[in-house]
Chain A
């Protein structure tokens, strides 16, 4: 639909800004044609496009295991999950386009390596248990984040999240089932599940982003209702949910310092290694280059499909105009 007009001035009209913030405070939803501060629009484009890119890149570590899934049931589930991730990417790109951005430009930014996506996908999926850990932890963390975003102030983003949240629960449950069965299997299978949890635990906690005090965008995102909860609040909620799940399938969270705080009812965890986080964000994770190369190759290999679709449409258009 028609994008919102974007003001050219860097300073917003204080009256319109006050009206806008009053709408946010009343819990109203902002729609594409409504007036919005340029900075709100830019924050949304930044956040939504990174989110959409993450869905697309997120297909890669899992697609890696489709051909080696241990049974037909697992293979069908994994293919359906990977297809969902493509769909999720498209829902969010479509939301971003309501802000006057062309999906084509976003695709090019991703392929050129100038766009960010979630760092979690720059870690490798080394064993089958990693597919379990990704579904359980990575999708589990994503659900915590997206459930919050489903109440975001921007209508098209919130509505895309509602659709996504309905589908993510299948992702998490299939991952948890994989982990649960491996954990109850042979000693080797149990060790494989524990190893996957050991490697994915800390990167999953980092998915929520830096601590609130180190998160430059947080204040604005919270004030304008793009986010409803802070990074640290969401991370704590994820940890609290996951402790019981790990216990239920007899796996140990790799944090010996973890303890329950009776007063706050929170599971307190040890310090996160932020050096590792920033290293991966800045491009030096184990798989950054591999992921981009795979995405570029997938896009290039799909070129003939897009060209054929375009040619087919043109041929039919000519036939119709001749008739």
Chain B
């Protein structure tokens, strides 16, 4: 038993692109010693039923993420500008736009 050594490899985040043309989406993570094996593990773990046409693996530590504490101020510039949405603008009744 190798309980003393940790040879599971580092953690990689897995992103799958679905066959319907959508963008890559986070699926989960895998352990692997390098990127090539991480891709193979990701295929075996997350794409056994044609869930993906493309896979990205990224070392987990390489991801920079916003923090929950930032939530308010960080996203503020987008929250107080309703004029960025089409509903902000009035159009005469009966005019077809789409």
Nearest-Cβ distance from residue A155 to partner chain B, whole angstroms: 11
Are B48 and A84 in contact (CB-based, < 8 A)? yes
Q: Which residues of chain B from 50 to 95 have any CB-CB distance to chain A below 8 Å in the complex?
A: 60, 63, 65, 67-68
A309 CB–B CB distance under 8 Å: yes
- Measured CB to CB, the closest approach of chain B to A310, in angstroms, equals 5
- Mark out the residues of chain B between 1 and 25 whose CB falls within 8 Å of any chain A CB in the assembled complex: 1-3, 6-9, 11, 13
Asked if A94 CB lies within 8 Å of chain B CBs, one says yes
- A42-B62 Cα distance, complex, nearest whole Å: 27
**One of A60-68, A120-128, A312-320 at the interface:** A312-320
Complex CA gap A102/B67 in Å reads 22
Please give me the residue from chain B that is nearest to A167 by CB atom: B49
A307 interfacial contact with B, CB 8 Å: yes
Asked if B1 and A309 sit within 8 Å, CB to CB, the answer is: no
Report B43 CB to chain A, min CB distance, Å. 11
**Minimum distance in angstroms from A178 CB to a CB of chain B:** 21
Query: Which residues on the A side are within 8 Å of B28 (C-beta)?
Result: 90-91, 94-95, 159-160, 163
Q: Is B1 in contact with A31, judged by CB distance below 8 angstroms?
A: no
User: Does A87 have its Cβ within 8 Å of any Cβ on chain B?
Assistant: yes
Please give, as numbers and ranges, the residues of chain B lying within 8 Å of A306 by CB-CB distance: 2, 7-8
Q: Are B7 and A310 in contact (CB under 8 A)?
A: yes
By a CB distance below 8 angstroms, the chain A residues around B49 are: 167
Q: Bound complex: CA of A137 vs CA of B37, how far in Å? A: 36
CB pair A2 B3 closer than 8 Å:
no
Q: Do residues A313 and B45 form an inter-chain contact, with CB atoms below 8 A?
A: no
A159 neighbours in B (Cβ, 8 Å): 28
> Which of B9, B13, B29, B45 contacts A310, CB < 8 Å?
B9
Q: Find out whether the CB atom of B1 lies under 8 angstroms from the CB atom of A111.
A: yes
Q: Is the CB of B45 within 8 A of A90?
A: yes
Give Cα A35 to B67, complex, Å: 11
| Cα distance, A255 to B6, chains bound together (Å) | 49
Most buried by A among B28, B48, B49, B67: B28
Q: How far is the CB of A279 from chain B (nearest CB, A)?
A: 27
B33 in contact with A310 (CB, 8 Å):
yes
Q: Which of A201-209, A264-272, A295-303 is the contact stretch? A: A295-303
How far does the Cβ of A265 sit from chain B's closest Cβ, in whole Å? 36
Q: Is there an interface contact between A111 and B34, defined as CB atoms closer than 8 Å?
A: no
B2 pairs with A1, CB closer than 8 A: no
Contact residues in A for B67 (Cβ distance below 8 Å): 33
Closest residue to A31 on the B side, CB-wise? B68
Q: Report if A212 contacts B (CB, 8 A).
A: no
Q: Is B2's CB under 8 angstroms from A300's CB?
A: yes
Contacts of B34 in A (CB 8 A): 312-313, 316-317
A302 and B49 CA atoms in complex are apart in Å by 26
Residues of B contacting A300 in the complex (Cβ-Cβ under 8 angstroms) = 1-2
- Closest chain A CB from B13 CB (angstroms): 7
7 A-B residue pairings within 8 Å (CB atoms): A31-B68, A33-B65, A83-B48, A108-B3, A296-B1, A313-B9, A316-B36
Given contacts A1-B65, A300-B1, 18 further A-B contacts (CB under 8 A): A1-B63, A31-B68, A33-B68, A84-B48, A87-B45, A87-B48, A91-B45, A94-B28, A104-B8, A159-B28, A167-B49, A300-B2, A303-B2, A306-B7, A306-B8, A309-B37, A312-B34, A316-B34
A interface, CB within 8 angstroms of B = 1-2, 31, 33-35, 80, 83-84, 87, 90-91, 94-95, 97, 102-104, 107-108, 111-112, 159-160, 163, 167, 296, 299-300, 303, 306-307, 309-310, 312-314, 316-317
What is B's interface to A at a CB cutoff of 8 Å? 1-3, 6-9, 11, 13, 27-34, 36-37, 44-46, 48-49, 60, 63, 65, 67-68
> What 5 A-B pairs are tightest by C-beta distance, nearest first?
A313-B33, A313-B34, A94-B29, A306-B7, A94-B28
